[in-house]
Structure 1
Amino acid sequence: MASTPEYLEYVLDLLAGVPEVSSRKMMGEYLLYASGRLFGGVYDDRFLVKDTGASRAVLSAEEVPYEGASPMLLVDVEDAEAVSAMVVAMLPELPEPKRRRR
């Protein structure tokens, strides 16, 4: 089941305090980036983030976004400030975006 644009808008509202948030549609789902770093996504109308020290400190429920993928953490917090603070804390733990050659 593909994610709905309405749920993506809800998630983006939660992330209003995160700098440079963007989304990219990928096969009916949405990948989420902050400052160019992939930190999570919306899969089947579930907001999932990568498992890092900062996200593990706030979240515990693991979910698999799609068959064959590594488990991610389910964001079940509806406090926009807490979610934004968690994502900002995750950014230094995530790899730098790869530069594309032209």
Structure 2
Amino acid sequence: MGTRAETMEFLVDQLSGLPNIRSKKMFGEYALYCDEKVVAFVCDDELFIKPTDAGREYIGEPEEAPAYPGSKMYFRVSGDRWEDREWLTGLIDTTAAVLPVPKPKKPKAAKPQK
């Protein structure tokens, strides 16, 4: 089915209180970034948060599910929790705080001249 653009617009708006929130379309679905760290995926209009001990403590007893067939388990956050801007922002902020900074990408090699 794929995630609708409206879903991502809503989530990014809900998280607008955090600096450096953005989404990126990937393979028909979306990755959600906070401070250049991938903190979640949105697949088939469902939100899947990267699992961390801090996130587990914040949520309490998270529902765990694969974001896509063959993926590892993530914390699935239901749509009714999306309405609570403060709670959702807190979860994303808590998750981003404990994730490692991504390694810098290597520059692409120059293509040989013909």
Give the TM-score normalised by the residue count of structure 2: 0.83
Query: In the alignment, residue 71 of structure 1 is paired with which amino acid?
Result: M
CA deviation string 1:37-92 (max 9, x = no partner)? 01001100001111112221215111211111001111221211111111111122
Cα drift, residue 16 of structure 1: 1.5
- 8 Å CA contact 1:18–1:84 kept in 2: the answer is yes
Match of 1:90 among 84, 90, 95: 95
- Whose relative contact order is higher, 1 or 2, with alpha carbons under 8 Å and at least 6 apart? 1
Q: Give the count of matched residue pairs.
A: 102
**Whole-Å separation in 1 of the counterparts to 2:15 and 2:97:** 17
**Whole-Å separation in 2 of the counterparts to 1:52 and 1:14:** 21
Larger Rg: 2
Match of 1:71 among 73, 88, 92: 73
Query: What is aligned with 1:13?
Result: 13
Give the TM-score normalised by the residue count of structure 1: 0.92
**Whole-Å separation in 1 of the counterparts to 2:30 and 2:48:** 10
Structure 1: give runs of 5+ residues left out of the alignment. Answer: none
Aligned Cα RMSD in Å?
A: 1.2
- 8 Å CA contact 1:13–1:80 kept in 2: the answer is no
**Whole-Å separation in 1 of the counterparts to 2:55 and 2:44:** 20
CA deviation string 1:25-44 (max 9, x = no partner)? 00100001001001001100
- 8 Å CA contact 1:15–1:21 kept in 2: the answer is yes
After TM superposition, what 4+ stretches of structure 1 lie above 6 angstroms from structure 2?
none
Match of 2:63 among 56, 61, 64: 61
